[in-house]
């Protein structure tokens, strides 16, 4: 499969997530009016927007803070943070249910909750990647484990449930680590451009990794990762869509159409939690991959237009 996107957005987004995590843990970003990681220099709204020539310094009381785009940018930051927190809470809840299932020896329910937890983690992976150590404790693959190192996290539990292994021990370790991720993610505040870049990186991960190489080595239900990550990218777009429609209505409509087509394409692959990897043909994967490329390319161009409204963290 041909990848149309350059690698630069991924590096930029990883840098943003790392900075946001460090700032959050230091307590520098607060719910309202805290120190902002947004750019310090004022920038101009794109000339094609409805406020051409207006100077905007997102997150600060300068320029034109009452402009519609400023309010929409702040709303996007809040919406994205809320969705991240909701996904993190759902992930923790699924892991807790999984642990309860294991304690009661209900393997069928445990498998369902493991798939649910995996899907919920998929919605957070792009941001969680900023903390590589914590991410590895949650989503490391068996093929990533070096000699002499232990294997844990979601994929260890997946192995235990579908093949065999120390299930109770692995679930207990996962249950202990999940709240750590929830805490770290609760401090994230990304600006509109960074939110758009998150969507691009989520789509790129699907195209580069999840589609060509199933991540579910034991359950062989890799569509869970594909569907969940694409849904997360769509949610990121929806969070910035009101702002984007003020800045570039035509391009925003194009991106919305691409996401609609992508959703339809993914649905043709089958139900994510019950469709085995062997049931997905190469032709079907290629069709989805091509739509992922088209969507990611359009999303990257739109995200770049939102730079004047914040590229990194900002107070909510």
| Residue 187: C-alpha distances to residues 55, 160, 184 (Å) | 28, 32, 6
Q: How many domains does the chain have?
A: 1
Helix (H) or strand (E) holding 134: helix 132-139
Q: Is residue 32 part of a domain?
A: no
What does the pLDDT read at residue 29? 30
Q: Is residue 272 part of a domain?
A: yes
User: For residue 191, with 0-12 CB atoms within 10 Å meaning exposed, 13-18 middle and 19 or more buried, which class applies?
Assistant: buried
Q: Is residue 44 part of a domain?
A: no
Domain range for 178: 8-19+66-309
The CATH number given to whatever domain includes residue 266 is 1.20.1420.20
User: Would you call 96 helix, strand, or coil by DSSP?
Assistant: helix
Q: Is residue 222 part of a domain?
A: yes
User: What's the chain's length in residues?
Assistant: 316
What does the pLDDT read at residue 203? 98
Q: Is residue 36 part of a domain?
A: no
What does the pLDDT read at residue 243? 96
Q: Is residue 57 part of a domain?
A: no
Q: Is residue 3 part of a domain?
A: no
Packing angle between helix 68-103 and helix 192-205, nearest 10 degrees? 40
> Is the overall model pTM greater than 0.85, yes or no?
no
On the CB side of 139, CA atoms within 13 Å amount to 21
User: Would you call 162 helix, strand, or coil by DSSP?
Assistant: helix
* pLDDT tens per residue across span 216-245: 999 999 999 999 999 999 999 999 999 999
Closest by Cα among 241, 43, 236, 1 to 125: 236
Q: Is residue 262 part of a domain?
A: yes
* pLDDT tens per residue across span 162-181: 999 999 999 999 999 999 99
Closest by Cα among 88, 98, 108 to 173: 98
DSSP readout, 183-211?
HHHHT----HHHHHHHHHHHHHHIIIIIT
What does the pLDDT read at residue 64? 58
Sites in the chain below the pLDDT cut of 50: 1-63, 313-316
Contact 117, 94 (CB under 8 A): yes
What does the pLDDT read at residue 312? 60
């Amino acid at each position: 499969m041909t990848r149309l996107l350059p690698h630069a957005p991924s590096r930029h987004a990883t840098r943003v997530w790392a900075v946001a995590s460090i700032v959050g843990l230091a307590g520098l970003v607060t719910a309202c009016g805290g120190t902002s990681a947004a750019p310090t220099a004022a920038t101009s709204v794109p000339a094609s927007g409805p406020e051409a020539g207006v100077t905007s310094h997102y997150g600060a009381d300068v320029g034109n803070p009452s402009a519609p785009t400023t309010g929409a940018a702040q709303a996007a930051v809040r919406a994205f943070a809320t969705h991240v927190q909701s996904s993190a809470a759902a992930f923790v809840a699924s892991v807790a249910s999984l642990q309860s299932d294991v304690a009661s020896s209900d393997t069928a329910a445990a498998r369902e909750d493991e798939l649910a937890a995996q899907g919920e983690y998929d919605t957070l992976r792009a941001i969680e990647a900023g903390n590589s150590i914590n991410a590895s404790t949650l989503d490391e693959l068996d093929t990533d484990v070096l000699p002499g190192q232990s294997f844990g996290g979601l994929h260890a539990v997946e192995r235990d449930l579908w093949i065999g292994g120390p299930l109770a021990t692995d679930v207990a370790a996962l249950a202990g680590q999940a709240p750590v991720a929830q805490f770290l993610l609760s401090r994230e505040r990304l600006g509109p451009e960074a939110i758009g870049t998150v969507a691009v990186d989520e789509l790129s991960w699907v195209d580069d990794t999840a589609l060509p190489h199933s991540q579910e080595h034991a359950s062989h239900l890799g569509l869970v990762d594909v569907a969940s990550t694409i849904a997360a990218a769509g949610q990121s777009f929806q969070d910035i869509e009101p702002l984007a429609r003020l800045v570039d209505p035509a391009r925003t409509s194009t991106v919305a159409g691409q996401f609609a087509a992508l959703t339809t394409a993914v649905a043709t692959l089958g139900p994510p939690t019950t469709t085995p990897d062997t049931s997905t043909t190469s032709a079907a994967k290629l069709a989805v991959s091509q739509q992922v490329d088209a969507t990611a390319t359009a999303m990257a161009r739109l995200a770049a237009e939102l730079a004047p409204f914040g590229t990194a963290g900002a107070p909510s």
